């Protein structure tokens, strides 16, 4: 059913750091940023970061509270889970240190890491650690996720916190999975390898031309990575996360696959999903808060279906049904219409309407003008006036006139 495999692509990456365990001198006083305690803690963080990259388990586990047996066991498992993850860098930054009682303190820490060969910018995550002082040293006694951006207000997790990670490299892709067979991950990598050149043919501009795909064991695992409830993702086959906008430098986007929804799709549907999500990766630097979702999602679908030979009725069955039932949309879909967890038919119509809007621009103004329009909208400082200004400058029209032409296009293509 249309809409069940649709990707988001507008989220910000939000993840929980792997446990950061500290070792610091007891003769210092935690709480003063830049003080002796903070410097000691940061040096310990640096040593532990090096232990992750060097695969030194003993150094990684050294700062755990000797009495925290369950924490030590969990950290040993997570260290093993990371074995196949190709890390280029891993760093910790202490952002806050507060005394909470005699021999106790709380540390706030930011983790940043890059995957070797894929991330031009680091993925960042935060966490809070409860520290305890024993025998003149500070140890970590407990941990919890820090505040995250994006998701639905929950605490997002990292893939390796869910189990041992299997890594499969493709020509243009890196697929990291938990609870998945290597064969299945290879199939996903092959589809991603086909998606990247397809996107590159449609969107000619600066981007990494590589994608990182995360495949958890279930929709619950997907929701955990995104920090939201599983119910909101059950019919969604994939979501792209990343930092919208920016200078154009290579980003650290992640395509997160819902293995349950993805598995029920045929080969064509699976290819559309990964091409759609790869298009979000390619356009990320030009997607901002000024970009309406009908444009960002519509362009991703236009890229995905470009060259497939599928007709408008085949790609937009829900909207075709509405048009034939004399329920022609009065306006382009709003951002709210793209929300997960609502009416599946309405969600499908929103995606289909955005796709047809971009298809109309590509046919009447040309593919290069569609790309220029997309960049112009995303380059606007705010949402208000962004589409109006870009339509005038790049398409020589107004939103009102474009809407009239779009509605007529729906009649022509779908009735």
Q: What is the pLDDT of residues 104-142, one digit of tens each?
A: 888 999 999 999 999 988 999 888 888 888 887 888 888
Cα Rg for the chain, rounded, in angstroms? 24
Residue 17 gets the label, from left (phi > 0), alpha (psi -120 to 50) or beta, of beta
How far is 168 from 85, CA to CA, in rounded Å? Answer: 10
Name, in order, each residue with C-beta under 8 angstroms of 252's C-beta and a sequence gap of 6 or more.
Answer: 13, 114, 115, 118, 119, 120, 121, 122, 123, 212, 242, 243
Report which secondary-structure segment, H or E, holds 133: strand 123-134
How far is 365 from 302, CA to CA, in rounded Å? Answer: 14
How far is 354 from 304, CA to CA, in rounded Å? Answer: 13
pLDDT (tens digit per residue) in 300-321: 999 999 999 999 999 999 999 9
- Asked if residue 25 has pLDDT above 50, the reply is no
pLDDT range class, residue 277, cuts 50, 70, 90: very high
Is residue 124 within 8 A of residue 112, CB to CB? The reply is yes
Is residue 241 within 8 A of residue 302, CB to CB? The reply is no
Sign for the CA dihedral angle at 78, 79, 82, 83 comes to: negative
Note the Cα 325 to chain centre separation in Å.
37
Q: What is the pTM of this model?
A: 0.87
Angle 344-364/293-305 helices, nearest 10 degrees? 70
pLDDT range class, residue 341, cuts 50, 70, 90: low
| Over residues 61-84, mean pLDDT | 94
- Token pair belonging to 212: 């990182």
Q: What is the pLDDT of residue 260?
A: 95
Partners of 188 in the β-ladder: none
Partners of 112 in the β-ladder: 91, 124
| Over residues 226-247, mean pLDDT | 82
How far is 98 from 326, CA to CA, in rounded Å? Answer: 63
How far is 256 from 87, CA to CA, in rounded Å? Answer: 19
- Asked if residue 159 has pLDDT above 50, the reply is yes
Query: Domains (ranges, CATH) in the chain?
Result: 15-149 (3.10.450.50), 288-415 (no CATH)
Q: Tell me phi and psi for residue 88, to 5 degrees.
A: -90, -40
How far is 303 from 241, CA to CA, in rounded Å? Answer: 18
Q: Tell me phi and psi for residue 35, to 5 degrees.
A: -80, -175
Q: What is the greatest pairwise CA distance in the chain?
A: 79
- Token pair belonging to 96: 């806050």
How far is 414 from 317, CA to CA, in rounded Å? Answer: 8
pLDDT range class, residue 232, cuts 50, 70, 90: confident
How far is 257 from 311, CA to CA, in rounded Å? Answer: 27
């Amino acid at each position: 059913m249309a809409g069940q495999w649709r990707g988001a692509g507008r989220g910000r990456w939000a993840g929980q750091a792997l446990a950061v365990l500290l070792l610091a001198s007891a003769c210092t006083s935690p709480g003063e940023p830049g003080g002796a305690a903070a410097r000691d803690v940061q040096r310990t963080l640096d040593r532990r970061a090096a232990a992750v990259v060097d695969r030194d388990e003993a150094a990684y586990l050294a700062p755990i509270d000797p009495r925290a047996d369950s924490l030590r066991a969990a950290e040993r498992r997570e260290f093993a889970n990371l074995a196949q993850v190709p890390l280029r860098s891993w760093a910790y930054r202490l952002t806050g240190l507060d005394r909470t009682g005699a021999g106790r303190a709380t540390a706030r820490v930011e983790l940043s890491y890059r995957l070797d060969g894929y991330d031009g910018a680091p993925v960042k995550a935060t966490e809070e650690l409860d520290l305890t002082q024993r025998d003149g040293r500070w140890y970590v006694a407990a941990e919890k996720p820090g505040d995250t951006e994006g998701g639905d207000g929950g605490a997002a997790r990292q893939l390796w916190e869910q189990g041992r990670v299997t890594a499969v490299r493709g020509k243009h892709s890196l697929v990291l999975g938990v609870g998945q067979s290597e064969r299945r991950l290879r199939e996903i990598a092959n589809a991603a390898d086909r998606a990247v050149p397809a996107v590159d043919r449609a969107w000619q501009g600066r981007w990494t031309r590589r994608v990182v795909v995360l495949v958890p064991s279930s929709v619950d695992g997907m929701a955990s990575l995104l920090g939201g409830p599983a119910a909101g993702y059950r019919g969604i086959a994939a979501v792209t996360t990343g930092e919208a906008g920016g200078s154009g430098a290579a980003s650290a986007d992640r395509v997160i696959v819902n293995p349950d929804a993805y598995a029920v799709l045929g080969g064509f549907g699976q290819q559309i999903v990964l091409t759609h999500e790869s298009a979000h990766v390619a356009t990320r630097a030009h997607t901002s808060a000024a970009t309406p979702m009908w444009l960002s999602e519509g362009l991703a679908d236009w890229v995905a279906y470009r060259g497939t030979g599928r007709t408008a009725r085949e790609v937009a069955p829900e909207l075709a049904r509405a048009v034939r039932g004399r329920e022609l949309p009065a306006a382009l879909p709003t951002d709210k219409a793209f929300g997960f967890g609502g009416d599946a038919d309405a969600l499908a119509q929103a995606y289909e309407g955005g796709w047809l809007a971009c298809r109309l621009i590509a046919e009447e103004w040309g593919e290069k003008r569609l790309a220029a329009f997309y960049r112009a909208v995303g380059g606007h400082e705010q949402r208000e006036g962004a589409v109006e200004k870009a339509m005038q400058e790049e398409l020589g029209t107004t939103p009102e006139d474009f809407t009239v032409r779009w509605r007529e296009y729906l009649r022509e293509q779908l009735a």
